[in-house]
Structure 1
Amino acid sequence: MMLWSSIKSVASLLSSYGLLMVANAMFGTLLGLRSKIEGFSTEVTGIIMAGFFIGMLLGAFYAVRIVASAGHIRSFAAFASVMSVAVLAHVLIIDPVAWFILRAITGFCMAGMVMIVESWLNERSTNATRGRVLSLYMITNYLGAGSGQFLITVANPDSFQLFSVASIIFSIALVPILLTRATVPKPSAPERMKFRELVKISPVGVAGTLVSGLTNSAINSMGPIFAATIGLSLGQISTFMATILLGGMLLQFPVGRLSDLFDRRTILIISALATALVSGGIIWAAEEHYILSLFAFCIIYGGFCYTIYPMSSAQVNDLADQDRLVQVSAGLLLAYGTGASIGPIVASQIMGQVGPNGLFYYVISCTLFLAVLTIIRVIQRPSGKKKAEFLPLGSLGSSSKQLYSTVAQETYEQEKDVNDK
């Protein structure tokens, strides 16, 4: 009964969030394919796609001000409307500079809408239901992002129909959240920690966060270009991207629990090395045109690659003061956003020089660097401090971590008040 009550209390919010994930994932793949159809080079396409993550990074800083002044409902409506228009504007203005700007606007609006949904979810959840809400949130995230890839097959990417479909879904995402009866939370800007302080707490955690931003954004942005260039059909391209995203959901909890039981850095090394190894498998399968093997490697790739950020985040929380979890979370979001803004640009430049396999050569380089750095740190500083709880992260990188950090800070303050009394 309590489970059903928990689901019912957040159903409308998760519906809006799921629709956002569906449309955003579908449009990201569409824009990458359409860029190639329009004759943009791989390097230029990478810069265009990086605009989304730059916009999200700016949104993390400034969208909260819009929400604070206009309120959650009006802000969400404004973000969704602007995003819907920006999607359609890509068809009207076919220019790489314009597309970069539109992509940045889309990222900014997406950051604002995700922040609104998450703060509302946090308002509606309690200590008794928070675990269920987090699980539902994670499932919605990956299922939405993964299933959105299959919408690419509805029409040809060289027509306007798919842009209209994405715009329609973004607009429909307004409906559930506008009809919700959930209490509107009070917006608050997270305190930020200096990057230097964050590095002092855990160089491995910060490096893992940066590497996650560098690799995840590159795959999300340039993955469709890789798939198209190696000769996959439209349906196979959507399956390629979907298997990576859905694979990301499979190992979050098993790997997370292992990192709770053993030295988290050891599990991080395994995940980084496994990501590099499977990246090599993807290159091999692509060169040999073993499609089924390619998809199998993609599932495994997503499973390991998407655990690097939550483990890195947990590693920082292991070593951070418990009364600074919100600041740590904001600092990690900045680190991830910085890496995500750079990733598509660097990966596209490498792909332009060495071909489509350059995407996974880039991933191999990043993850091997992380593995080597982590091995060095394990030798320099043995584990021994009490661990924070591992919590999974969504496909955008910051999602459930932001939800968790607020909760953790509130719980800590409540316990502190009780102890003081």
Structure 2
Amino acid sequence: MLATILPVRSLLIAIFVLMAGSGFLSTLIGLRLERAGSGTMVIGLVATAYFAGLVIGALRAGDIVRRVGHIRAFAAFVALLSASTLAYALFAQPLLWGALRLVDGLCVAGVFVCVESWLNDRAETGTRGTVLAWYMVALYSGQAFGQLILRSGNTAPQVPFQIAAILISLAIIPVCLTRSSAPVLEDAASLPLRRLFEASPLGVVGAGVTGLLLGAFYGLAAIYARRIGLDLGETATFMMTVILGGVALQWPLGRLSDRYDRRRIILICFAATWATSIGLATQPQGFLLFGLGAAFGGLSFALYPLCVAYANDRLLPSERVTASGQLVLLYSAGAALGPLGAAASMTLTNAGGLFLFIALAAAAMLAFGMWRVATSDPVPGDQQQDFQILPRTTPVAALLDPAGPDHPAFQPNPTPQVINGQ
């Protein structure tokens, strides 16, 4: 295993440090806006700006990387992200912060494109799964433990932004000093969205709805935590618990979906997400709050890779990489809308409105999924591809699938497989 990750260790260190510095900003910015008197809808709009930037960056950052190269592009994206992070400490205007969050999303998407395409170039067919697993560990553990930086705001309001900018800037060092040569980023093939939906309505709609759920959570969960009485340290712990819970259950649920009808596992996860969301909407306290938070993270974080795996079950091997990239964009589009819907729900009700909105979206998806199960045939077990954990970052992440472009199935004129119904 060490032999597999040593060639990419600088990239993994860089993504861990960068996510430790930037992963908690959505939490911090939401809390600061609320303390400054901004309404829930304003906070939701600022959160939406970040996901909109992520979508735009995922679509356009590749052009910059191809033009100037990976190392220069990475340094430029990180430098701009560090500068925008310091700007929050200078000016506390919601409109400006919304613009800064748009820039943040663009920069983070650019970083993901650089790192993921580089990892893909360095990983061999037999090691892609290991590389992807370590990338996921670095990304989400950095994001989770970065939440603890929120506690530093008790001493001075500007300190968390300063620490975040320092960590973000430090992320440049391992990449700039790497002896590994940067790859050439190729243009991705296209797959019509209509073809993708015809092949797997459940996978397509599920990816978008999962974005809706998690976009709402990331945008407004900190506001929920504060309004139910958690202090700053407890809010940070709650966010960290949800993220770590999300990482913990992805693999067991994925393995379960390999053994049984994947559609039913997806429906069970949406049903359980609905149940935990209803529980969180009642504003529990103590261990119950954190237990439900961990369960919510474990169930909801698993939904995206499950939906991608199910969609891939319905596609030709030559279509899977491009389809996974399309599903990332659908997820991101849903995430951009999620904070707005959750903000409206919280405005009409109370703090629990966040999870009422999430529960409503999960229930609607559950109903759609039950209809699909009733009207379509399952994919035979021997034709299901193995579950693979996937980050919800950019389309380039799809290339890290173990059955990626080096796999024979992705070479010209692959042997078609039989697709059984919808």
> So what's the TM-score if we normalise by structure 1?
0.94
CA distance in 2, matches of 1:397, 1:207: 18
Q: What residue in structure 2 maps to residue 145 of structure 1?
A: 143
1:77-96 matches, within 5 Å, as 77-96=75-94
Deviation at 1:19, TM superposition (A): 1.2
List aligned pairs for 1:43-54, cutoff 5 A: 43-54=41-52
Q: Determine the structure 2 residue equivalent to 1:304.
A: 299
1:418–1:342 distance in 2 versus 1, CA, 3 Å: closer
Match of 2:224 among 226, 235, 243: 226
SS in 1 for 2:182: coil
Contact preservation (8 Å) 1:120, 1:183: no
Q: Which residue, 231, 237, 240 being the options, matches 2:238? A: 240
Residue aligning to 2:336: 341
Distance in 2, matches of 1:191 and 1:124, equals 20
Which amino acid in the other structure matches residue 16 of structure 2?
A: G
Q: In the aligned structure 2, how far is the partner of 1:54 from the partner of 1:157?
A: 33
CA contact (8 A) 1:323 1:412 kept: no
Q: CA deviation at 1:89?
A: 1.3
1:173 alignment partner AA: A
Partner residue, 2:70? 72
Q: Name whichever of 139-148 and 69-78 sits farther off.
A: 139-148
Deviation of the 1:211 alpha carbon:
0.8
Change (3 A) 1:366 1:398: farther
Once the two structures are superposed, what CA deviation does each residue of 1:76-127 show, in whole Å capped at 9, x if it has no partner? Answer: 1100111111111122232222111110000001001011111111122112
Q: Distance in 1 between matches of 2:60 and 2:155?
A: 33
SS at match of 2:406: helix
Q: Measure the CA separation in 2 of the matches of 1:93 and 1:192.
A: 42
Amino acid at match of 1:43: M
Give the C-alpha shift of residue 158 in structure 1: 6.6
1:128 alignment partner AA: G
Distance 2:120 2:104 in 1: 24
The corresponding residue for 1:358 is 353
State how far apart, in whole Å, the 2-side matches of 1:132 and 1:119 are.
Answer: 16
Q: Between the two proteins, what is the percent identity of the paired residues?
A: 34
Please give the alpha-carbon distance, in whole angstroms, between the structure 1 residues aligned to 2:77 and 2:414.
40
Amino acid in structure 1 at the alignment position of 2:408: Y
In 2, Cα distance between equivalents of 1:312 and 1:188? 26
- Residue 195 (structure 1) shift: 2.3
Q: Distance in 1 between matches of 2:303 and 2:296?
A: 11
More displaced stretch, 176-185 vs 101-110: 176-185
Aligned to 1:283: 281
Query: Displacement, 1:191?
Result: 2.7
Q: Secondary structure at the match of 1:251?
A: helix
Greater alpha carbon shift after TM alignment, 403-412 vs 321-330: 403-412
Shift, 1:17, TM fit: 0.7
* Structure 1 equivalent of residue 309 of structure 2: 314
Change (3 A) 1:325 1:127: same
Q: How far apart, CA to CA, are the structure 2 residues paired with 1:398 and 1:112?
A: 9
**Residue 389 of structure 2 corresponds to which residue in structure 1?**
392
**Contact persistence 1:218–1:359 (CA under 8 A):** yes
Given the superposition, is the C-alpha separation of residues 307 and 411 from structure 1 closer, same or farther in structure 2, using an over 3 Å criterion?
Answer: same
Say whether 1:330 aligns with 2:328. no
Aligned counterpart in structure 1 of residue 372 of structure 2, from 377, 381, 400: 377
Distance 1:32 1:39, change over 3 A: same
Contact 1:192–1:330, Cα closer than 8 Å, also in 2: no
Partner Cα separation in structure 2 for residue 135 and residue 406 of structure 1:
11
The one-letter code matched in structure 2 to 1:237 is: T
Paired residues of 2:309 and 2:388 also in contact (CA < 8 A): yes
Cα distance, 1:192–1:406 mapped onto 2, change above 3 Å: farther
Q: Is the 8 A contact 2:109 2:393 kept in 1?
A: no
Moved more, 242-251 or 22-31: 22-31
Q: Which residue of structure 2 aligns with residue 193 of structure 1?
A: 191
Listed as ranges, the gaps of 5+ residues in structure 2 are 416-422
Whether contact under 8 Å (2:390, 2:398) holds in the other structure is no
**8 Å contact kept, 1:22–1:144:** yes
AA in 2 matched with 1:305: S
Distance, in Å, in 2 between the alignment partners of 1:325 and 1:351 is 38
Task: Please give the alpha-carbon distance, in whole angstroms, between the structure 2 residues aligned to 1:331 and 1:128.
Answer: 25
2:287 to 267, 270, 292: 292
1:254 to 252, 258, 268: 252
CA gap 1:204/1:217 in 2 versus in 1, 3 angstroms: same
User: Which stretch of the first structure deviates more once superposed, 83-92 or 256-265?
Assistant: 83-92
Alpha-carbon distance in structure 1 between the residues aligned to 2:102 and 2:414: 45
Q: Report the TM-score, using the length of structure 2 for normalisation.
A: 0.94
The Cα shift of 1:413 comes to: 5.0
Say if 2:30 is the partner of 1:24: no
Q: Is the 8 A contact 1:120 1:182 kept in 2?
A: no
Name the structure 1 match of 2:214: 216
The amino acid that maps onto 1:391 is Q
